[in-house]
Each structure stands twice: as structure tokens, then as C-alpha cells.
Amino acid sequence: ARHHGDVEMVSRRVEGDIHRYTYRDAQRRSKQLAKAIDAEGLARSARVATLAWNGYRHFELYFGVSGSGRVVHTINPRLKPEQIAWITNDAADEIFCFDMTFLPLVKAIAAHCSTVRRWVALCEADALPLDSGIPGLVSYEAWIGAQNSDYQWPEFDERLAAALCYTSGTTGDPKGVLYSHRSTTLHAYAGALPDATGLSSRDCTLPVVPMFHVNAWGVPYAAAMTGAKVVWPGPALDGKSVYELMESEGVTCAAGVPTVWLALLNHLHAEGKRFSTLQRTSVGGSACPPAMIEAFHQLGVEVLHGWGMTEMSPLGTVCRLKGKQLTLPWSEQLPILATQGRAVFGVDMKIVDPQGKELPWDGASAGDLLVRGPWIVSHYFKHEQEKLLIDGWFHTGDVASIDPDGFLQITDRSKDVIKSGGEWISSIEVENIAMAHPAV
């Protein structure tokens, strides 16, 4: 807020209208939020849950909760109600903040969430239902509005937990992954590097990747760090809505999963339109098909194909061409851009055979992918006794090869390899062929 206080943040709200304010406004309201949490009597490192779309109030929760010394716990609303209740209880969330679109879901789980003592609807006071049946329900605006912004952020150890996300883990119930203030900050630094997203104060970024999905890949933190203008899309993620926001706000970079970008590309194709400001888009969550990279290329947009995991905060690799590859013909660049790219600074990786022997970076040898780095988890939340690192390395569960230039090619998840006619087939290759078909 000190360096980028006048930079605008734009949100399409759940109600459908557009909300505008600045980083300075966000800081003021985040301080009010922190005081409201203090008033509830939460201890340090207590968890505050969010069930919300990408928007300015969710952004305030990111910073107001963790800045006060508590932990922001983002929950995926696409999970089954019983899973959400289980995760809420496992995390021992004490405050639960939710967008009004999820009111029916919250009604269904409230009685089963024994640790929650305050339910907060992310809305104005006059939008709060009188007969919700949810005990202790308040509106976010009334809740933080009862506090002023005269607040001094507390000082604490950089290793204190800042955020919590749940993953499917290796087996059984979902497992929590805690991110510290230190790991989150280092992750933001790395994510904004020129050979990663290259985010800067000259950018306008649109994170379509949900804020409930691994902290929106760290974009909220990197944007605040660099002073980039942020456009939050809310729940409207169809191609038409996303395109309209991109064009009206001058978006230069975006981030999302292939399914969202496929809908956007289909909209542009159907309407015969192009991008006027978009320069690059990060694609992750699942492998980006070469056909999609080609489609964006034809529209003058660079695809930054990335890979990571919840256990990695999530950033592991980003694919951008090296200098010597810029003069290659497009037909030779495309296969490179379809790989998962090179490890960002801070992440080390290697591939090993079933006996643990390290394999060469020759682009042909495939083995189990291992990673290590300052933002990679060492154990799951409340499972400290189950160490995830072996000799300092995290076993990703991916099968991969690495070429001499360091470009990672994930060929499959260990458990997803298909065997047909006695031959092993990569399910990713099957998906790429399907995505390239005109009927898909």
C-alpha cells in the first residue's frame, strides 16, 4: 500500500456489478478485518476459513487474516458438503467466511462444523437473510465496519503459518498443507521473476485460477508485491464474461486452467474476435495441449505452461524459451513450449529409477520426479510424524524426463499410466490428441 497505494483493483462481484478500489483501500479494510478477528478472541495461528470466489473481500481475507497472525484456510466449494464439513473440523476453523452463492451449502454443513463460532457472509448488512438458521451469522461489512483501521500489524516469526490448503494427499482423507509467511514471500518473489510470470507494476493481471485453489498459484501475493493492477472475475468464468473483463480493463496477463481457456478460445472463434491487450497467460492445473498453445499463438498471446503441486505452494516450473531458442522456427518451438518448462529459481529437481538412482537429463530417460526447495512442504498439517521428505527430497508421484536444457516433460502420474497391448501409454498423450480434435 505504501508503494502502490493508488493502483486499482477491479472485481466482478457475486451480484454481477463491478467494484473498484485501490491497494490503499484494501489495506485499510484488511486492518479493520484484523481488528474484528482480534475482537473475536482468536489465538495466534487459529484458522479462518473462506468459501469464496475471486474478489476484493477474499483478497482482504488473504492479508487481514494472515497479517494478524492467524491462518487463512481456503476451501474448495466444489467438494461434497460432507467433505467440506470434515475439512472444516479437521482444520478446527473458528471463523467461516463465505460468498452468498454458497449460502445453501453453508446451511447444510453449519450444524456439523463443531469448531466454528462465527459465520460471516461476504455481503452488505441489508443482504443478510433474517431466517438463515445459521447461528451467529453476521455480514462482513457490518462485522469489519464496527472497527476502525487504526491497527498495527503484529510482529512474529517468519516461519509462522500464513495459509492452509487441503489436498487429496497420498491416501485416504484430504490432508492439509500449511504455508508459512517465509515460504509464501519467497514463492511470490520466484513467481514474479522474468523467466516465471514476469509480473510487474506495468501489468494488469486477471487470475481466473480460483483463490481457493492453492492460493490462486500465489498471484495475489505476487501482484501485491509488484503493484500490478488486479482484475477479479468473480463466479462468471464463461468465455464471454472473461473476454469482456480482459478487454474493458486492459488485461496484459492472466492465469487459469485449460478448461477455462478452451471456453475463452471457443468464444473468440465463434465471435471472430481477438485480444487487444493480452500478452501472455499462465496455464496449469493440468497439461496444456499443444493445440491450445498454437491457438493462443495465432492470437498473439504467449502461453506460460507451468507445473506444480499443492505441496509445492504450488510453483515448480514455468516454460519460457531460452535465448538460443527464440530464433527456432515455430514448428520447433511448439514442442518445447508444450513441456512443463524449467524449474524456477529456488526449486531443485531430479529423476530417479525404481532403485533411487539418479537418471541423466537427456530428454529420454524417464523416472520418478523428486523436488526440493524453500516452499515445498515437509509434512502434512497435524501429521508431523509422517515425514514427506526422503533425504530432503519430496516424491511428487509424477513420471518425467528432463532434457539437457532443463526442460521438464511429465509423461504421467505414476498411478495413471495406461497399458495396452503390452505397451505403456501416457494418458497425457491421449488427452493432447483428444484436445486437438475439432469436435472437442
Catalytic residues: 167, 311, 419, 424
**At which residue does the C-alpha cell 459465520 appear?**
119
Pairing verdict, β 253-256 and 204-207 = parallel
List CB contacts of 410: < 8 A, sequence separation 6 or more: 287, 307, 340, 369, 398, 399, 400, 428
Would you list the DSSP string of 46-90? -EEEEE--SSHHHHHHHHHHHHTT-EEEE--TTS-HHHHHHHHHH
Find out whether 319 and 297 touch, Cβ atoms under 8 Å.
Answer: no
Please compute Rg for the chain using Cα positions. 22
Residues 208, 278, 193, 404: is their CA dihedral positive or negative? positive
The three cell numbers locating residue 359? 537418471
List CB contacts of 35: < 8 A, sequence separation 6 or more: 144, 147, 148, 149, 151
Q: How far apart are CA 286 and CA 277, in angstroms?
A: 25
For the chain, the first-to-last Cα distance in angstroms comes to 45
3-state secondary structure string across 356-384 = CCECCCCCCCCEEEEEECCCCCCCECCEC
List CB contacts of 80: < 8 A, sequence separation 6 or more: none
**Other Cβ atoms closer than 10 A to 310:** 20
